[in-house]
Structure 1
Amino acid sequence: MTVDQEVIPDRDEAEPVSTATVVAYAVVGALLFGWFLFGWLVLQQGFIDSVGEAAGTGFALLLIVAIIGSVRRSRR
C-alpha cells in the first residue's frame, strides 16, 4: 500500500513578521519587566504578587491583541 502524495496538501507559507511587530513585542516585554520590578522593589509587594501582576497584565495585553487581530481579519 502506498500513500498518494497528491492527497496531502502543500503547507501554506506563513506571512513574515514585520520588524515593527518584533520591536513592539520587545518594548512590551521590557515594560512588563519594568512593571514587575516597580511592584517588587518600589511598592515592596511580595515577589509572587509582582510576578502575578505582571503576568496578568501580559495576558490582558495578549487578549486585547487577539481581539483586535480577529476584528481586523473579519473585515478583510
Structure 2
Amino acid sequence: MSKQAINPNAVKALNQMKYEIANELGIGNNITNDKSDLSSGKNVFYGGYVGGAMTKKLVEMGEQMLIDKNKKD
C-alpha cells in the first residue's frame, strides 16, 4: 500500500474546525492549554467530546455535498 501525502490545507482546515467546535462546546481553553496535569480520564473526555462533534459536523457536510451534487445532476 502506498503512503499518500497529506494535504497541508486539509490539515489546517480540520484543526481550525476542531478549535471552532471546542469553542462552541465551551471547552476551547482546554484544547490549547497544556494537559500534562490532567488525568487520562479528563483527556479522553475532552478528546472524545470534540472528536465526536467533529465527526458529526463532517457527516453533515458530506450529506450536504451529496444533496448539492444530486441537485446538479
TM-score normalised according to structure 1 size: 0.50
Partner of 1:30: 19
2:67 equivalent in structure 1: 71
Aligned to 2:44: 48
CA shift at 1:64, angstroms? 0.2
Give the number of the structure with larger relative contact order, counting CA–CA contacts within 8 Å between residues 6 or more apart. 2
Sequence identity (%): 10
Larger radius of gyration: 1
Aligned residue pairs: how many?
55
- Residue 7 of structure 1 corresponds to which residue in structure 2? none
Indicate if the aligned counterparts of 1:40 and 1:50 stay in contact, CA closer than 8 A. Answer: no
Separation (CA, whole Å) in 1 of partners of 2:47 and 2:28 = 9
Gapped regions of structure 1 (runs ≥ 5)? 1-22
Aligned residues: CA RMSD: 3.9
Q: Aligned to 2:56, what secondary structure does the other structure show?
A: helix
SS for the counterpart of 1:54 is helix
Higher helix share: 2
Q: Structure 2 CA distance, aligned partners of 1:46 and 1:39? A: 14
Task: For 2:23 and 2:45, locate their aligned partners in 1 and report how far apart those are by CA, in whole Å.
Answer: 14
Q: 1:65 to 1:27 in 2, by over 3 A?
A: same
Gaps of 5+ in 2: 1-11, 31-37
